[in-house]
Amino acid sequence: MNIVAAEKISTWIDDRAILRELSFSAQAGEFIGLIGPNGSGKSTLLRTVAGLTPPTSGQLKIFGRPVAEYKSKQLARIIGYVPQDTSIDFDFSVREIVLMGRHPHLSRFGSERQLDRIMAQKAMQQTTTLHLADRMVTTLSGGQRQMVLIAKALAQDPQLLLLDEPISALDIRYQLQVLELMRKLTGKGITILAALHDLNLAARYCDRLVLLHQGEILSMGKPDEVLTPDIIQKAYEVHANVSIDPFLGVLTVTAIGARNDFTYHNLN
């Protein structure tokens, strides 16, 4: 079943086309990586799918229903969204922040239930942030805040999880932890779209990749179909060697040098 179905969606912001006629779909339990150079439209695409930046044209459906037909609270029960910006100005505890993820499931004037506290605790356990539960979120590092915001999204119990650079502020240990968790979640049927910069980690963990370039889909498919030397050169303007890692048995990309770079030519 298509959880997300986009047909020729375009998004204009301040008279500038950020996304141009994108068509793609995401199935239940898929982990799709959004890759591409800075400014290619990854964040805007995530915000568009989340219902935060409506498409200017085209059709976007979530569970077969046009996203514009959903009320914001209905979308919040389905979609967990973690933005790239982890700044939090209010002095809430980690537990309070994570519990905010349960608000879409509460009645208008309802208070937190035992189920909500259980779901929040489970989300903190999944993200190894339970030991931070009573800390003020403003005292945390950027990486810790990132993990707390992921926990908040998981507390929503979403069927679709949208992540904008979820591992950019994390060291390699927590990068792997987050991506391993994402794989476990897809195994339970959750669909994940994540903007990722690390091509090697994207190739290792994602089922499919969508490569954006100047607001358009340059390539889409399995990692070995998207991450070819020619496509990488066109998108990123670098020469790259693409091979299979002998230890992991997965695709690995080694950037050699910028196009027309002297070092690259001297290697041949």
Mean pLDDT of 12-33: 95
State whether 97 and 171 are in the same domain: yes
Residue 24, CA atoms < 13 Å, CB-side half-sphere:
24
Q: E strands, 14-74, where?
A: 16-27, 31-35, 57-62, 65-66
Residue 110 has pLDDT above 70, yes or no: no
Q: Which residues contact 207 (CB under 8 A, 6 or more apart)?
A: 30, 31, 32, 186, 222
| Averaged pLDDT, 217-224 | 98
Pair (109, 158) in one structural domain: yes
| CB-based contacts of 87, cutoff 8 Å, min separation 6 | 145
Say whether both 220 and 238 belong to one domain.
no
| Residues 12, 20: Cα–Cα separation, whole Å | 9
Q: Are residues 105 and 234 in the same domain?
A: no
**Do 146 and 32 share a structural domain?**
yes
Q: Which domain holds residue 246?
A: 228-268
Together in a domain, 129 and 75: yes
Contact present, 199 and 37 (Cβ < 8 Å): no
Closest CA to 25 of 46, 42, 7, 44: 7
How many other C-beta atoms can be found within 10 angstroms of the C-beta atom of residue 7?
14
Both tokens assigned to 84:
């790239």
pLDDT at position 98 is: 97
Percent of the residues in the chain that have a pLDDT greater than 70, as a whole number? 95
Residue by residue, DSSP assigns 21-32 as EEEEEEETT-EE
Number of domains in the chain: 2
Residue closest to 87 by CA, chosen among 148, 178, 153: 148
CATH number, domain at 138?
3.40.50.300
CB burial string 73-82: b at 16+ within 10 A, e below: eebbebbbbb
pLDDT at 226 over 90: yes
Q: 177 and 265 share a domain?
A: no
Q: Edge-to-edge strand order for the sheet containing 160-164?
A: 79-82, 160-164, 191-195, 31-35, 208-213, 216-221
Measuring CA to CA, how many Å separate 230 from each of 23, 195, 239?
A: 22, 21, 8
Least trusted range by pLDDT, from 1-10, 49-58, 259-268:
259-268
List of residues 6+ apart from 265 with CB closer than 8 A? none
Q: Are residues 70 and 123 in the same domain?
A: yes
Residue 263 in this model has a pLDDT that exceeds 70: no
Are residues 31 and 130 both part of a single domain? yes
179 in the same domain as 69: yes
pTM above 0.95, yes or no: no
Q: Are residues 146 and 262 in the same domain?
A: no
In the block, tokens 């509460």 appear at: 106
Give mean pLDDT, residues 101-130. Answer: 89
223 and 233 part of one domain = no
Whole-angstrom Cα Rg for the chain = 19
Q: Is the pLDDT of residue 249 over 80?
A: yes
How many angstroms separate the CA atoms of 27 and 100, rounded?
28
229-237: long-range contacts at Cβ-Cβ below 8 A with a sequence spacing of 24 or more?
232/199, 233/259, 235/36, 235/37, 235/40, 235/211, 236/37
3-state secondary structure of 53: coil
Rounded to an integer, the average pLDDT of 100-129 is: 89
Number of other CB atoms surrounding residue 68 within 10 Å: 11
